[in-house]
Structure 1
Amino acid sequence: MSEIAREAGVDRSTLYRRFPTREDLLSAVHQAKLDDAARALDEARPDTAPFAIAVHRFVENTVAVGRRWPVDLRVLLADSSHRNRHEELTNRVGDLVDRGVRSGAIRSDLPTNWARDVLITLLNLATHNYEDLPPGPSADLITDAFIQATGNKP
């Protein structure tokens, strides 16, 4: 907590007034990440933008969120309210992918949630393993790889 207070430019007493425990601070960080992730998905316009553009925007926005809030997902998911919010967001990504299936951009013969999980795995890979690659180029690579791996061949 001392290190966090120092990095935030406040004294420890100020930090402890706002977040009495480490768990309170972690919960606030997790909530902020989930709020940013929801905004990133909303800004991608998953229901109205052309499918590939929505995927690209979602990935670009979400890579930025993941790098801004580098939290341990296992710790975030240990809290039931955060886990439920994370599941809601994952389901919304599934809805975007389902839209791709309905439009013919994504193969319909894939196992349930396969394409969604491929997209999320590629997103996590770029966010955490290729931090030197900016969000835009990451989104270019991921969108292309995702469509190549799961899309209908011309």
Structure 2
Amino acid sequence: MRADAVRNLDAVLQTGARLLHQDPATSIATIAAEAGVDRRTVYRRFVDRETLVAAIYRAKLEACQEVVDQARLNEAPVPIALHRYAEGIIDVSRRWPIDLSRLQQDEQSALRLHELIGCLDAFMERATREGVIRPGLPDRWARSQLIHLTNLAAHEMPELTPAQGADLIVQSLLEGIGT
């Protein structure tokens, strides 16, 4: 794919994610105009709105997978891997603000999301085994907290840089918020 075509595709997907986050009924024409491309360009690549939306979800999932891979959740020391993950996911969530829990009936994307969540669960189990997270918490508690905290830092506190948000997330998860 030519470099300009790659830039246009990325612009359409990221613009689509942002606009669909703001208004789930956003049209392809609106997305194309906001992305600075002709709507025929979008229709050449995506036969309908559902295909475009599925591509946006897949792009976010790919970005999330890159963060998981770069965080090295299986081998890096837990606090370092946690910080890398949080910082990366804050950035991804801001670039791709669509909610993955609203994935449409795309079986491949749903499976990929399930695998990513499984990676986080395994990481939290490792953190518990290594004594970084206290044992005895309900299943999925730590992972759910991580997801909620990254969403909080990404979307409700835009004044925080991804690194600042990650610092707060790691501190909150590992030390709590008490004095």
Give me the TM-score of the superposition, normalised by structure 2: 0.78
Match of residue 54 from structure 2: 27
1:42-66 per-position Cα deviation (integer Å, ceiling 9, x unaligned): 1001111111000000000000001
RMSD: 1.4
Output the amino acid matched with 1:22. R
Q: Does 1:98 align with 2:159?
A: no
Q: Deviations over 1:89-147 (max 9, x none)?
A: 11101111111111111111111111111111111111121122110000000010011
Q: Which of 47-56 and 114-123 deviates more?
A: 114-123
**Segment of structure 1 superposing worse, 81-90 or 32-41:** 81-90
Instruction: Report the residue type matching 2:60 in the other structure.
Output: K
What's the % identity of the aligned pairs?
44
Residue 149 of structure 2, aligned match among 99, 102, 122: 122
Residues 54 and 104 in structure 2, CA contact (< 8 A), matched pair in contact too:
no
Deviates more, 1:119-128 or 1:48-57: 119-128
Measure the CA separation in 2 of the matches of 1:13 and 1:100: 49
Unaligned runs of 5+ in 1: 150-154
Structure 2 contact 46–52 (Cα < 8 Å) conserved: yes
Corresponding residue for 1:152? Answer: none
Which residue of structure 2 lines up, in the alignment, with residue 81 of structure 1? 108
Query: Match of 2:22?
Result: none
The alignment partner of 1:33 has SS state of: helix
Provide structure 2 residue ranges, at least 5 long, that are not aligned to the other structure. 1-27
What is the aligned length? 149
Aligned-residue offset at 1:78? 4.5
Between the aligned partners of 1:148 and 1:130, the Cα distance in structure 2 is: 20
- Within the candidate set 68, 74, 94, 1:47 is matched to 74
Give, in angstroms, the shift of residue 21 of structure 1.
0.7
| From 91, 98, 103, the counterpart of 1:64 | 91
TM-score, normalised to structure 1, is 0.90
Deviates more, 1:34-43 or 1:97-106: 97-106
Write out the 4+ residue segments of structure 1 that deviate beyond 6 Å after TM superposition.
none
